[in-house]
Amino acid sequence: MSIYNPEATLDGRDELSPGQSQRVHTLRVLGAVAAGVISWALLKCALHDPLFLLSFMGTLLWGLLSASALLLRRRSAAGQSLLEWQAFAVMTFCYSAASIFFFGGGFFHSWQYVGICLAACTWSIVVVQRLKAVGAVANSWSRVPTTTPRTNIAL
């Protein structure tokens, strides 16, 4: 079973809005973007985080959640590359280290924040390993899977 199929014609609209017109799909996407902007503005106000120090960790966690959701829903690495998530893992480790060691005391030294940083770093490694296991392409300009995909791996 190959992950990359050059014959496939499935596009974003077919996956996100199956059987819907382009107009309905466009309205759904615009609605989702509007909901995201409003939600982010509300969360930003609630966090009182003018320098985005905590907000960035929330963004990292959201990205990991999105990667996991894609893997679970598609049961393949379609639309994702190994390099993309390796770079994301490096960013997660670097931001965690910087925020814990260089952002002063208090909140960024609390066990809760250190714990969420450790969880994010661990989760990023798990995402990379899962992508390797399902045969993700090495990068977006490569069509060659990193490994032979295995279909009997539990997610």
The tens digit of pLDDT for each residue in 47-57 reads 777 777 888 88
pLDDT value at 115 more than 80 = yes
Expressed in percent and rounded to 5, the helix, strand and coil fractions of the chain are: 65, 0, 35
Q: What SS3 state is found at 21?
A: coil
34-49: b or e for each residue (b if 16 or more CB lie within 10 Å)? eeeeeeeeeeeeeeee
32 φ/ψ angles, rounded to the nearest 5 degrees: -65, -40
Q: What is the mean pLDDT of residues 61-90?
A: 83
pLDDT value at 4 more than 70 = no
- The larger pLDDT score, comparing residue 146 to residue 17, is at 17
- The larger pLDDT score, comparing residue 66 to residue 2, is at 66
Q: What is the mean pLDDT of the chain?
A: 79
Summarised one tens digit per residue, pLDDT across range 22-54 is 898 899 889 989 998 898 888 778 877 777 788
Where does the pLDDT of residue 124 fall: very low under 50, low under 70, confident under 90, or very high at 90 and above?
A: very high
Over its C-alpha atoms, the chain yields an Rg (Å, rounded) of 18
Dist CA 147 CA 125 (whole Å):
17
Q: What is the mean pLDDT of residues 122-134?
A: 89
Q: What is the mean pLDDT of residues 61-67?
A: 83
Q: What's the confidence (pLDDT) of residue 118?
A: 93
Q: What is the mean pLDDT of residues 65-73?
A: 80
With a CB cutoff of 8 Å and minimum separation 6, the contacts of 58 are: 43
